[in-house]
Structure 1
Amino acid sequence: MKQVDLHIRSGEWITLVGRNGSGKSTLAKVIAGGRVDGLSGNVKRADPKSRLVPIVMQQPEAAMVGATPWEDVVLMLEQNEAEEQDIAALAEQALQAVGLGDRLHQPISTLSGGQKQLVAIAGCLAVYSPLLVLDEATSMLDPEAAAFVLEQARAIHGNGTTVIWITQKLDELDEGDRIISMQDGRIAFDGSASNWYRREDGHEGESICERLGFDAPYTVQLAWEMEKLGLSLDPFPIVPAMLAKAVSGYGS
Structure 2
Amino acid sequence: MGEIFLEQAIQIEMKKITVAPPIMLEGQMRRAIVKDVSITIHQGEWITLLGRNGSGKSTVAKVAAGYRVAGAAGQVIRNIQTAAKGRPLPIVMQQPEAGMIGATPWEDVVLMLEQNELPGDEIPLKAELALRSVGMGERLHQSIETLSGGQKQLVAIAGCIAMSSPLLVLDEVTAMLDPEASSSVMEQVRGLHKSGVTVIWITQKLEELQEADRIIAMDEGAIVFDGQAETWFARTAPLQKDSICERLCFEAPYAAQVAWELQEQGVQLSPFPFTAELLAKAVKQYGR
Residue 241 of structure 1: aligned partner: 277
Matched, 1:176 2:212: yes
CA distance in 2, matches of 1:129, 1:98: 14
- 5 Å-filtered alignment, 1:48-67, equals 50-67=86-103
Greater mean alpha carbon deviation, residues 46-55 or residues 199-208: 46-55
SS at match of 1:200: coil
Paired AA for residue 57 in structure 2: K
Matched, 1:156 2:192: yes
Deviations 1:211-238 (A, max 9, x none): 1111111110000011111112111111
Larger % of strand: which? 2
CA distance in 1, matches of 2:116, 2:198: 20
Paired AA for residue 112 in structure 2: M
Tell me the C-alpha RMSD between the 2 structures.
1.1
Greater mean alpha carbon deviation, residues 46-55 or residues 200-209: 46-55
Greater mean alpha carbon deviation, residues 230-239 or residues 39-48: 39-48
SS at match of 1:81: coil
Matched, 1:70 2:106: yes
CA distance in 1, matches of 2:80, 2:46: 19
TM-score normalized by the length of structure 2: 0.85
Query: Any unmatched runs of 5+ in structure 1?
Result: none
Residues 50, 202 of structure 1: alpha-carbon distance in 2 compared, 3 angstrom cutoff: farther
- Give the C-alpha shift of residue 36 in structure 1: 1.6
Moved over 3 A (4+): 47-50
Counterpart pick for 2:63 among 16, 24, 30 = 30
Residue 42 of structure 2: aligned partner: 9
CA distance in 1, matches of 2:181, 2:125: 27
Residue 228 of structure 1: aligned partner: 264
Query: Any unmatched runs of 5+ in structure 2?
Result: 1-33
Larger RCO, structures 1/2 (Cα 8 Å, 6+ apart): 1
Cα contact 1:33–1:53 (8 A) shared by 2: yes
Matched, 1:84 2:117: no
Deviations 1:92-141 (A, max 9, x none): 10000100000000010110000000000000000011210000000011
Deviations 1:162-212 (A, max 9, x none): 000001111001111000000010001000011111111223321010011
Larger % of helix: which? 1
Aligned length: 252
CA distance in 2, matches of 1:47, 1:55: 15
Paired AA for residue 210 in structure 2: D
CA distance in 1, matches of 2:238, 2:67: 42
TM-score normalized by the length of structure 1: 0.97
Residue 101 of structure 1: aligned partner: 137
- Give the C-alpha shift of residue 76 in structure 1: 1.3
